[in-house]
Amino acid sequence: MQTYPHSPLAGQMMDQPLAISSILQFAARHYGATEIVSRPVEPGLQDTLHRYTWRDCERRARRMARALAGRGVAMGERVGTLAWNGYRHLELYYAVSGSGAVLHTINPRLHPEQIAYIVNHAQDRILCFDITFLALVEAIAPHCPEVRAFVLMTDRAHMPDGAAIPNLLCYEDLLDGATGEDAWPVFDENAAAALCYTSGTTGNPKGVLYSHRSTVLHAYASALPNVLNVGALDTVLPVVPMFHVNAWGLPYSAPLTGARLVLPGAALDGKSLYDLFEAEGVTFSAGVPTVWRGLVDYVVERGLRFSTFRRTVIGGAACPPALMDTLIDTLGVQVIHGWGMTEMSPLGTTGGLLARHRTLPAAEQRALLRKQGHAIFGVDMKIVDDVGAELPWDGRTAGHLLVRGPWIAARYFRDEGGDILQDGWFPTGDVATIDADGFMQVTDRSKDVIKSGGEWIGSIDLENIAMAHPAVLQAACIGVSHPKWDERPLLLVQRRPGMALGREELLRFFEGKVARFWMPDDVVFVEALPTGATGKIQKNRLREQFKAHRLPAA
């Protein structure tokens, strides 16, 4: 760890650690009556809504912290979760980290073998799970010998008979049995608090270990007006799962700002979400583009409108311009394009305009909003060429994007991958431009860039154009080898159900929108595009599948 010069006058201000539990204590004290609404996942309860307040949540989380300590969970030990967005998961966010242990949220959409690998790599001592994942936990339990107890996140009435899981406990029983000191423990702000594994398209997933300090700073910064702008007048519904980089910090920024929280459980289809948005008066939400597409299609196809929903952050993958246009122009929802990654807690930049952009023509404003946007205070960024030389912020030159800041990983958990920084900067693996105003635009992942005759072709641009065609549901562009140009773009397209579209018509749609040498060489229509555990298209699988594809002669 880097050390800095020490001032002889240091220590005149209170040295109060930035603790995750302090966020919940603050919410209980100042926004105590504000509601948290959750859709349960237990059979028979899925049509009901559970309601309680930040005050109730704090009391139960504090009790659960004691229960965990009572079960021998020591400082720094990991407690895993396999759970949807719900109130018990929220309690564990605070109970585990607040007790000094480490909350390890696991993505249940991963392959069971990968989940067992992650549980063992993280050395989870307790694994808490929703009833949805009972069969999954039964399958992995024999392969996770270091887990001392499995906790089913439900009450006694919903505990199954004869589950094939050793040391199976009931969450509510555990809570009821808590004894001991009734106050949040206080410890150093650099203590480990939460662990997330990267989705990693190659090799084993790697863990990123957040501290109390990094989490609290990220929560502060992410709530700011130019970032997510959440506050006490908002009802926030995180569609992004609490197992995907801590739902982008919303379980922390909502109580920090006194927002009302709505947790959708497992029902993430268009109808369920729309009904919940309307019934609960949701004003703000967050999610990846694939989920938004489902919700937006449901709303638009039925001629519905949102009555309270005003703002959403879309990130995790590039937001297709067509999706942004529908949300803004048809549905009246402000779209904040967010960029970040697991290694960045996750937020790095958010899109938006500057005051002087207000007078720009609408099309130019929209072009700015499409960019991944401005760095958040705390995140420093630069672009470099292949040998590490810094590139200009001219909005045209694309380079490898490097970042640094107090909520950015310095290493992976258990030092996987060794030293990952380049002169103190974290290489994001993204390729981007930055303009003179500091607006960053991701043009590609380094490994997805199509290298044609020594030039780089950005696959995201080509996908965005294809997805603006009314008959295209989803598109992915990959490079396939070419005898003369090394690689040329191949476009893979999933048509909207019931719509006709041919290769020639789609290629004509590109004319005038890109330079000639950027034109895809071929289009293949597919039934579906493969998506990974966080809903992103898996281009590595497509590259493998189409590596022998023969492009038509030019």
Catalytic positions are 198, 343, 451, 456
- Report the distance separating Cα 292 and Cα 338, nearest Å: 14
Q: Do you know the residue count of the chain?
A: 554
- Report the distance separating Cα 539 and Cα 139, nearest Å: 29
Residue with smaller CB distance to ligand AMP, 173 or 416: 416
Cis bond before residue 17 (omega within 30° of 0): no
178-237 residues in contact with ligand AMP (CB under 6 A) are 198-199
The correct pick among 77, 430, 461, 463 for binding ligand AMP (CB under 6 A) is 430
SS3 92: helix
Give the list of residues 6+ apart from residue 142 with CB closer than 8 angstroms, or none: none
Structure tokens at 45: 């309860």
The correct pick among 337, 371, 374, 469 for binding ligand AMP (CB under 6 A) is 337
Residue with smaller CB distance to ligand AMP, 134 or 317: 317
Query: In this chain, which stretch among 76-84, 135-143, 428-436, 517-525 interacts with ligand AMP, using CB under 6 A?
Result: 428-436
515-534 residues in contact with ligand AMP (CB under 6 A) are 534
Amino acid in the structure at residue 23? I
Q: How far is the CB of 190 from ligand AMP (least distance, A)?
A: 23
Query: In this chain, which stretch among 97-105, 229-237, 355-363, 425-433 interacts with ligand AMP, using CB under 6 A?
Result: 425-433
Query: In this chain, which stretch among 167-175, 324-332, 341-349, 516-524 interacts with ligand AMP, using CB under 6 A?
Result: 341-349
352 touches ligand AMP (CB under 6 A): no
Q: How far is the CB of 124 from ligand AMP (least distance, A)?
A: 20
Residues in the interface with ligand AMP (CB under 6 A) total 20
Identify whether the C-beta of residue 258 lies closer than 8 Å to the C-beta of residue 31. yes
Q: How far is the CB of 289 from ligand AMP (least distance, A)?
A: 8
Q: How far is the CB of 41 from ligand AMP (least distance, A)?
A: 24
Give the pairing type, strands 311-315 and 522-525. unpaired
SS3 297: helix
Query: In this chain, which stretch among 144-152, 261-269, 312-320, 359-367 interacts with ligand AMP, using CB under 6 A?
Result: 312-320
Residue with smaller CB distance to ligand AMP, 34 or 428: 428
372 touches ligand AMP (CB under 6 A): yes
Q: How far is the CB of 109 from ligand AMP (least distance, A)?
A: 12
Among left, alpha and beta (phi > 0; psi -120 to 50; other), residue 352 is left
245 touches ligand AMP (CB under 6 A): yes
Q: How far is the CB of 221 from ligand AMP (least distance, A)?
A: 17
Query: In this chain, which stretch among 66-74, 181-189, 266-274, 338-346 interacts with ligand AMP, using CB under 6 A?
Result: 338-346
428 touches ligand AMP (CB under 6 A): yes
Beta bridge partners of 260: 235
Residue with smaller CB distance to ligand AMP, 238 or 315: 315
Burial class of residue 331 (count of CB atoms within 10 Å of its CB; 0-12, 13-18, 19+): middle
The correct pick among 316, 321, 352, 458 for binding ligand AMP (CB under 6 A) is 316
Q: How far is the CB of 498 from ligand AMP (least distance, A)?
A: 29
399 touches ligand AMP (CB under 6 A): no
Handedness of CA 421, 434, 326, 503 (dihedral sign): negative
315 touches ligand AMP (CB under 6 A): yes
Q: How far is the CB of 242 from ligand AMP (least distance, A)?
A: 14
Residue with smaller CB distance to ligand AMP, 81 or 199: 199
Residue with smaller CB distance to ligand AMP, 21 or 349: 349
341 touches ligand AMP (CB under 6 A): yes
Which residue's structure tokens are 């209170």? 14
Amino acid in the structure at residue 15? D
The correct pick among 207, 238, 241, 346 for binding ligand AMP (CB under 6 A) is 346
109 touches ligand AMP (CB under 6 A): no
The correct pick among 227, 317, 323, 440 for binding ligand AMP (CB under 6 A) is 317
Give the list of residues 6+ apart from residue 480 with CB closer than 8 angstroms, or none: 487, 488, 490, 543, 546, 547, 549, 551
Give the start-end residues of each E strand in 101-183: 102-105, 124-129, 149-152, 168-170
Identify whether the C-beta of residue 450 lies closer than 8 Å to the C-beta of residue 244. no
Q: How far is the CB of 337 from ligand AMP (least distance, A)?
A: 6
Residue with smaller CB distance to ligand AMP, 235 or 372: 372
Distance of CA 124 to the CA centre of its chain: 22
Q: 143-174: string of b/e by CB count within 10 Å (b at 16+)?
A: ebeebebbbbbbbeebbeeebebeebbbbbeb
- Report the distance separating Cα 508 and Cα 519, nearest Å: 10
**Which uninterrupted H or E stretch holds 430?**
strand 426-434
The correct pick among 168, 170, 431, 442 for binding ligand AMP (CB under 6 A) is 442
Task: Please write down the long-range contacts of 506-509, taking CB distance under 8 Å and 24 or more positions apart.
Answer: 506/466, 506/469, 506/472, 509/465, 509/466, 509/469
370 touches ligand AMP (CB under 6 A): no
Residues at the interface with ligand AMP (CB under 6 A): 198-199, 245, 315-318, 337-339, 341-342, 346, 372, 428-430, 442, 445, 534
